[in-house]
Amino acid sequence: MSALSSPRSFSAPARGRVPAPSQADLLDFARRTAADTELIDSLPLDPEGRTWVRLQGPGGSEAWLIGWPPGTGTGWHDHADSVGAFFTARGELKENALAARLPTDGWKTLELSENVDRERRLPAGRGRAFGRHHVHEVLNESTEEHAISVHAYYPPLPRIRRYSRTGQVLRLEHVERPEDWQ
């Protein structure tokens, strides 16, 4: 009897799990999206603060188009257990990052060793991917130009842990849930 199942059910797509997007997939998405000039030009820009538009990322990832007025930045943070990527479409971003794998939970302050700081300049046409627990801050240091970038994270809706930093001491200030961070 089962051999006589209808063509419709026979040809139905398998409901398998979609593989999780890799860092390379997220970076590729961010690169392609940053090249979509119509989309990039559609982002409203505000000289007073960052602007956001949510995008449909690949494989169920969370993606955002972000406008950065001159002099704005994120402050130190990480995306906990999510991996991510971002790509600059306009202007230039700077990323300050820690080249150290930090414990995710169970601490309030950490004294960083010397030589853990890394700086990257990401002008339009450049981006990067990052792994879990990547601690960074992203800035538009320009005094004149907006920057626009595309960001993608997987798993989506990551926790964002925010830190203050005094010299080599990093202090966990609070953990934001996705609903807090627009």
Residue carrying the six token digits 């979609």: 18
- For residue 97 the two structure tokens come to 């990052």
Tokens of 182: 């627009």
Peptide bond into 155 cis (omega under 30): yes
Residue 79 labelled as part of a binding site: yes
Question: Residue 35, SS3?
Answer: coil
Q: At CA 136, angle to CA 42 and CA 92, rounded to 5?
A: 40
| Spatial contact of 52 and 65, defined as CB atoms under 8 Å apart | yes
Detail the residues annotated as belonging to a binding site.
Answer: 77, 79, 136
Binding site members for Fe cation: 77, 79, 136
